[in-house]
Amino acid sequence: MDINEYKIEDLSEGLEESIEMLITEELLDAFIEISGDRSPIHCDTEFAKQQGFSGRVVHGQLLGAGVSRLVGTRLPGRYAVLQSIEIGFRAPCYAPERVIVSGVVDSVSESVGQVTLKVTIRGEDQRLLAKGTAKALVRT
């Protein structure tokens, strides 16, 4: 995978990049092991269905990892370090599903080397799964 190399002076409001993530059952199971979050909403299909969901619900922070990937590889990319993510979840995600994580530059502060992105995470059917903001330092 190519990694973008935007420097702070290359960034301007409205610049947009996206990545795709394939959320599989195996990825969900791996995240359960890594995070230790074994809530039955995420682990037990029947329990999740009893709670009104269509199946096991993908962890929000697994989707949030896509924001980290976006910042570290696409926008800004190579010279960025993620400072914060503030994200609100709008609809459940179920594996398997291909999701699109998009970021749009909302503001740039060259004096401190910080970029703020508006981020969205959408399902393959374009339904909004999550949205929020991410901030990153850009150092070259």
pLDDT value, residue 137: 98
pLDDT value, residue 140: 84
Report the sign of the C-alpha dihedral through residues 114, 64, 22, 30, in that order.
Answer: positive
Residue 1 pLDDT > 90, yes or no? no
Residue 24 pLDDT > 80, yes or no? yes
Mean pLDDT over 44-73 rounds to 97
Q: Which of 70, 53, 63, 55 is nearest to 104 (CA)?
A: 70
**What pTM did the predictor assign?**
0.94
Domain boundaries of the chain, sorted by first residue: 8-138
Residues 8-138, CATH architecture: Roll (3.10)
84-95 confidence digits (pLDDT tens): 999 999 999 999
